[in-house]
Structure 1
Amino acid sequence: MTVIAWIVEGTWAACVDAVRAHAPRDDDVLLLHVTGPEAADAARGAYAGLLGRSRPDRDPAVPLESLAASAAERLLAGAAARLDRPAILLDRTGRPEREVVSAAEGAALLVLARDGDRTRPGPHSLGPATRFVVDHAPCPVLLVWPGPAPDPAAAPPPPA
């Protein structure tokens, strides 16, 4: 069986630690990072729209894509080192929520971290992409806090 950890800047360490704690040693581990296309697309659009298309060799999206790939490679390498067991490293490009759901097809477990408001539990503790993945994942999901969980007393009172 395969356990997937969604590796995202700011929360990846908690996901890797959860895999170390909860994934059986004989399961395969896939460390998944998804690079969104927004920055490169915006740079490409601005260059084409404002500066013209006469010099495609100066397209600012090309170095941005290269920098994003390098950053993803370093992030995955750091996650693999922290995991301290064999893992498959996968970097995809696309809409993160869609790519994670697609990659989770047939997985035994998907590990991801809360990425919204970390001061209290509830729906706002999940960002939009994470909410989509939790709602649409085709496998069991382990949702972890990227730091200490908030005090249970911070939960809102029950309805009247």
Structure 2
Amino acid sequence: LGEGGIPIVKSEVETGPMWLKARDTLNCICDMAEAEDVVFTLENLNLLDHPGCPFGSTAAVLALVSSINRPQLRINLDLYHTQIGEGDIVRWCEKCLPFIGEVQVADNPGRCEPGTGEMNWPNIARALFDMGYRGPVGLEAFAQNDPEAALVAFRRAFTL
């Protein structure tokens, strides 16, 4: 990705060769991760904010990561991007659950802290907990006003 998260080479459709190259590349990354005893995550994006981004959906990232199916590669499930690209957040969390390495949070619209947009964060947090997710949840958002208040809102949304 280049300036502003826009793809340098845009592609509206992923071709078969692109899928094969992505799988080969991610398998090489997994080999390196295994040698270093680390885990990499692949973030889902959305095509509204990142037009022309290949594999720019939750569905595509899940398909890639699950087809590789190695513990060194997980999904950085960005719920802001999922909301814009696909919606149906809780069902996507369920589908991605076995492959989630991290969940990222920002409200929509505006990409600000929980409680500033349309997303029901306490419901999403409860659903993640109920389905057994215990991994990291990160706030990747802009503070609507006060950064400290944004952190408080994040903690409040994810404290059960």
Q: TM-score, normalised by structure 2?
A: 0.33
- Indicate the structure (1 or 2) with the bigger Cα radius of gyration: 1
The answer to which structure has the higher strand fraction is 1
Q: TM-score, normalised by structure 1?
A: 0.33
Q: Point out which structure has higher relative CO (alpha carbons under 8 A, 6+ apart).
A: 1
